[in-house]
Structure 1
Amino acid sequence: MLDELLPRRVLRVVGAAFVAAFAVTPAHAEEITLDVLYTTPGTFNTLQQELAKRFTETHPDIKVKFRNPVAGYEEAAQQILRDQITGRLPDVAFNGINQISLFVDRGLGAPVDAFVAADGGLDKLGYYPTLATLGRWKGKLYGLPFAVSTPVLYVNADLVKKAGLDPADLPRSWPELIAAGQKIQTSAGAGVTGFYYQWDQTGNWLLQSLVTSRGGHMLKADGCTVAFNDNAGLWALKTLESFGKSGMPNFGISQARQSFVAGSIAILVDSTSYVAAADRQIGNRFDFKTVAFPLSAPEGKLPAGGNVAMVFAKDAERQKAAWEYVKFVTGPSGQTLMVNYTGYMPGNEIAVKSPDLLGSFYAKNPNHTTSIQQLPVLTDWASFPGGNSLKIIEVIKNHTESLVTGKHSAEEVMPSLVRDVNSLMPKCSG
C-alpha cells in the first residue's frame, strides 16, 4: 500500500533515517504489546499501520495493537473517560490538543518530562518549541505534537480566474471574500458554491479561529471564565451570521470536502488536515491552491488544531515502551511519514529542515507550506475545564449553527451563549 502512495525515493529516505535513528533499542525484560487508540480512520488508518510496522522492525520486544479507531476527538475523549471507569485505559492515545487538561485534571495521562530529559531534551529531539508547549498543562509535559493543523483557504484557482479574480491576490477580509464568492458563483452558474466556511469543525475550532484572529480569547487567564463576551467575540459571531446571510449552504464536513474536490466549491475554509487527500483526489482536474487564513487584527493569532500523542500507561515498564513509540511517531522519521500521508503540519523541526526528509517535499508541494508559514501566529486551542468540557463544545456548536442557518442573529446568540457556557463552567478555586 505504501508503495502506491509515496515515491520510492521517499520510502528509501524515511527507511534509512528510521534505521539510523533507532539502531539502539532499549531492552525490556519481556515482550510488551502496547494498546493504542487513534481517531479519524479515513485519514490515519494506513499511516498508523505503517508507523507501527516500522517501529516494531527495530523494537522487536514491543508490539503495537490498535483499538478500533473512533470517528473524532470528542468520541475519543468519551471513550477514554469510560475506560477510566472500567480500568481499561489505552497505553498510548492520539487526542485533540484541546483535550489535554480534560484528562490531566482527572488524573489521566503520564507526564513525559523525565523521558524527554533522559533523551537529551526537546531541542535535541527536534520539536518546535511553540508546538511542544501546546502539550503542557500545569507545568508538566503530557503530550507531544503528532499532527498539527492550521485553518487555511482551499482555492479552486480555475473558478476564481473565470470570475476575473486573481487567486494569488484574494481579498484579506471576510466581507470581501464573501463578495468574491458571490461573484464566482454568478460566473460559474448553477451547481457551484462560491464560498464555504467549515464552521462545524471539532472542538469549535473554526469559531475559535475567528475569535483569536481578531485578537480575542475564548477563556480568561484564570482558565475558568469565558472571555469571548467582548468585541472580538461579538465580531466573530457577526461574521458567522454574515456567512449565513450570504446564502452559504449548511454542509457537513465530508459533504463540503467532496464538493470542493469535485469542483463545485470555489473557496473552502477548512483545516490543513485535508490537503494531501485533496491533492490526490483532485489530480489534474483543476488548479488547487491553499491560502493563509486572514488575520483581522495586528495581534491576531490562530489556534493550533490537530492532535498530540499521550502516554496513559500506568505501569513503569509499559510507560517506557509507550514513550519509545511516542518518541518515534513524533520524531523525524515518523513525522516525515505523517506529512506525506496527510496535510497536517509536523511538530518536529528536524524533519522539516532536513533535505532528505521533508525539506525537498515542501519545496515541491507548496500547498503544504501554507501551514508552516502560519507557525509564528499559532496559539492555544482553548480547552474548557471541568466535567462539562465536552458538553460545552456541543452547546457552542448548537449556537453557532443557529447563526449560519439564519435562525438567530449574533446579538441574540451572544447573551444566551454566554449564559449557557457559564452555567456549565466550574467555579474557580480560591
Structure 2
Amino acid sequence: MIAKCKKTVLSVILLLSVLVLALSGCGSSGSSTAGDSKKVKIEYWHVNAQTQGGQAVEELIEEFNKQSETVEVVGKYNPDMYKGLMQNLQAEKAAGKSPALVQIGWAFLDYFSNNFSYLAPNKAIEKFDSNDPDFLSDKFLPNILNLAKNSDGKQVGIPYSLSSPVLYLNKDLLREAGLDENGPKTWQGIKEFGKVVKDKTQNYGLYVQEPADTWAQQAIMLSNGAQIIDNGKAAFATNEGIEAYKLYGDMVVKDKSALHVPWDQGVNAFINGKVAMLYTTIAQMSNVKKGAKFDVATIPSPPFDGKQAKVPAGGSFLAITAQSEEQQKAAWEFEKFLYSVPSMAKWTKATGYVPPRKDVADSREGLKDFVKENPMLNAALIQMDKAVPWTSFPGNTGLQAEQIMIDSRDKILGGQGSAEDVLKEAQQQINQLEP
C-alpha cells in the first residue's frame, strides 16, 4: 500500500514538472521578458569602434533599455566602417533577415535606398508618433535634413553623425622642428612642413586617415577645386584632382614624410608623438585628447593655394530597416531617444561629432559648457559652412565605385603608378559600371 502511494505521489510530481516546463517554454519569438512585461527585442547596427564612440553607444543602449517598458535594444558593431556594414546588410538580406535600425554612411545613401527596404522617418512619425508631427521640421535645419535625401529627393533617414576632417597638430613636435606651432595654412604648406619635420626630427610630418573609404582623400581633391562626380559620372581625374593626389602621394612615396598605414596605426602613431600632423575626422577628438601627452590642437581643413577649402560632410544617418510594424515602432522609439538633447550631447562629448539637431550646441542641457571647455571642437564647428555632400555614386554602383577609389588610393600611395594614370583608369572603370 505504501509503495502504491509512493508511486502515485511520484506520478503527480512528474506531471506537475512537465506542466511547469511547458508553461515556462511559452515565451515569445523576437521578444524578451523583463519582470512581468514583454519587451520587443531589436538590433541596432552601428560602426563605432571603442576609439570612436563605441562606449557611448553601449551606454546609450543601456540607458534606453532601463527606461523603456516596451523595447530592448541589442547593439551590433560592424568593422570596416560603413562599407563593412553595407556588406553585412547585404548578407542579412540574402538570408531573409534584417536589423531594425542601421547607421549608414553618406557615401552609400543612394545605394542603400535603391537596394534595401526602409521606413522613411516621416512615415514612422505618421504611424507611431502622431502627437509630434513636426519633430523633423522643429528640430533640424532644412539643409541638414537634406543631407539624408537621396538623388530622387526622398527623405531616407535622419542625419545622426556629422563630421568633417580637421588637421590635428602636435605643437611640441612642430616647435622642435623650428616651425610655426599654429600649423600651415595650405596643403602646399603641409607638404613643406612635413619635409622639415622629417629632416629635423626623423619623425613623420603627416598621416591622412585610411579606413575602408576615401572620404579624407576626397576632401583633399575638393579643396583644390576638383569634383568627384558631375552629372552622375565620375569626374575626379581632372588637372585639379590629379594635382591634389600627386602632392599627397609625393609626401608618402618621394619625401617619405607621410605615413601610409591602416587608420588605427596612423592615429596611434600621432598620439604616440611620432607624427606632427594628423588629418582625420573631428570624431577622433576624444581619442586624441585622451591619449596625447603633448600640446595638441586642431585647425580647420586647409585649402590649396588660391582655392577655397571644401569638406565633405562625414558621418552617417540612421534608417529604419525593420520589416514588421511591431519592430518598426520599437525602432522609432529608440531612434527618437537617440535624438533627444541629452543623448545627442553625450554622443558629441564622446566622439566630437557635430550634433545635427539645431538646439543642442547652445543649450545648457546640451553642449554650451562643453564647447567652451573643448576648443578643439571649434575647428569643425567653424567650417560647417564649407561642408558639401559626401559623394554618393548613383544607382547600384556605390560599393564597386568606392572600392575602385580605395584601390586607386593604395596604388598611388604604394608607388604602383602615377596619380594621373591611376586616377584616369579609375574614373573610366567607375563610369563603365552598370547603373
Cα distance between partner residues in 2 of 1:80 and 1:367: 35
Residue of structure 2 in register with 1:373 after alignment: 382
* Separation (CA, whole Å) in 2 of partners of 1:203 and 1:269: 14
Q: Are 1:100 and 2:109 matched, yes or no?
A: yes
> C-alpha displacement at 1:155, in angstroms?
0.5
Aligned equivalents of 2:212, 2:289: Cα separation in 1: 22
Give the deviation of 1:152 after TM superposition.
0.8
User: Which of 140, 144, 152 in structure 1 is aligned with 2:154?
Assistant: 140
What's the offset of the Cα at 1:116? 5.1
Q: How does 1:73-88 map to 2 (within 5 A)?
A: 73-88=82-97
The structure-2 alpha-carbon separation of the partners of 1:201 and 1:68, relative to structure 1 and needing over 3 Å to count, comes to: closer
Q: Paired residue for 2:8?
A: none
Paired residues for 1:255-404 under 5 Å: 255-282=265-292, 285-296=293-304, 298=307, 300-404=309-413
Matched, 1:36 2:44: yes
Of the structure 1 ranges 178-187 and 286-295, higher mean CA displacement relative to structure 2 is found in 178-187
- State the AA in 2 paired with 1:379: V
Q: Following superposition of structure 1 onto structure 2, how do residues 100-179 of structure 1 map, counting pairs within 5 Å? A: 100-115=109-124, 118=130, 119=132, 120-124=134-138, 126-137=139-150, 138-168=152-182, 170-179=183-192
The structure number with the bigger radius of gyration is: 2
1:127: Cα distance to partner? 2.4
Tell me the amino acid that sits aligned with residue 238 of structure 1. K
**Given the alignment, which residue of 231, 247, 252 partners 2:262?**
252
The code of the aligned residue for 2:227 comes to: H
CA RMSD of aligned residues (A): 2.1
User: How far apart, CA to CA, are the structure 2 residues paired with 1:209 and 1:292?
Assistant: 12
Which runs of structure 2 are paired with 1:387-426 in the superposition (5 Å)? 387-426=396-435
* Aligned counterparts of 1:348 and 1:79: Cα–Cα separation in 2: 29
Distance 1:268 1:369 in 2: 16
How many Å separate the matches in 1 of 2:109 and 2:332?
17
Partner of 1:239: 247
Q: Provide structure 1 residue ranges, at least 5 long, that are not aligned to the other structure.
A: 1-28
Deviation at 1:98, TM superposition (A): 1.6
The amino acid across from 2:208 in the alignment is Y
Q: Deviations over 1:400-430 (max 9, x none)?
A: 122223222122223212222222252xxxx
Between the aligned partners of 1:384 and 1:425, the Cα distance in structure 2 is 12
User: What is the distance in 1 between the residues matched to 2:297 and 2:74?
Assistant: 38
Contact preservation (8 Å) 2:259, 2:266: no
Cα separation, 2, equivalents of 1:425 and 1:286: 50
**8 Å contact from structure 1 (residues 145, 346) kept in 2:** no
Look up the match of 1:194. Answer: 205
Deviation at 1:298, TM superposition (A): 4.8
Quickly say closer, same or farther: Cα 1:398–1:270, change in 2 above 3 A.
same
Structure 2 residue aligned with 1:70: 79
Asked whether the equivalents of residues 234 and 431 of structure 2 are also in contact (C-alpha less than 8 Å), the reply is: yes
The whole-number CA distance in structure 1 between the counterparts of 2:425 and 2:251 is 20
In 2, distance between residues paired with 1:142 and 1:364?
Answer: 35
Specify the code of the residue in structure 1 equivalent to 2:156: Y
**Tell me, what secondary structure is at the counterpart of 2:56?**
helix
User: Secondary structure of the residue that 1:229 maps to in structure 2?
Assistant: coil
Q: SS at 2:206's partner residue?
A: strand
- 1:41–1:71 contact (8 Å) kept in structure 2: no
Q: Distance in 1 between matches of 2:243 and 2:340?
A: 39
Residues 67-102 of structure 1: CA distance to partner in whole angstroms, max 9, x if unpaired?
354342111101111111212110001121221211
The superposition leaves residues 229-277 of structure 1 with CA deviations (integer Å, 9 ceiling, x where unpaired) of 3233223332333322221232211111111111110111111121101
**Structure 1 residue 141: deviation in Å?**
1.4
The within-5 A match list for 1:7-46 is 31-42=39-50, 43-46=52-55
Alpha-carbon separation, structure 2, partners of 1:327 and 1:216? 38
Check the 8 A contact 1:345/1:372 in 2, yes or no. yes
CA shift at 1:366, angstroms? 0.5
User: In structure 2, do the counterparts of structure 1 residues 70 and 164 end up closer, same or farther at CA, with 3 Å as the change threshold?
Assistant: closer
SS in 2 for 1:307: strand
One-letter code aligned to 2:204: T
Q: Any conservation in 2 of the 1:150–1:302 contact (CA below 8 Å)?
A: yes
Structure 2-normalised TM-score?
A: 0.84
Please point out which of 199, 215, 218 is paired with 1:205: 215
Question: What 5-or-longer segments of structure 2 have no aligned partner?
Answer: 1-36
Q: Which digits, 9 at most, give the CA deviation of each residue in 1:85-141, with x for residues without a partner?
A: 2121100011212212111111422211234574224242x2243332211112221
Q: Identity rate of aligned residues, in percent?
A: 25
Partner Cα separation in structure 1 for residue 155 and residue 123 of structure 2: 9
Q: Determine the C-alpha separation between the residues in 2 that align with 1:249 and 1:41.
A: 22
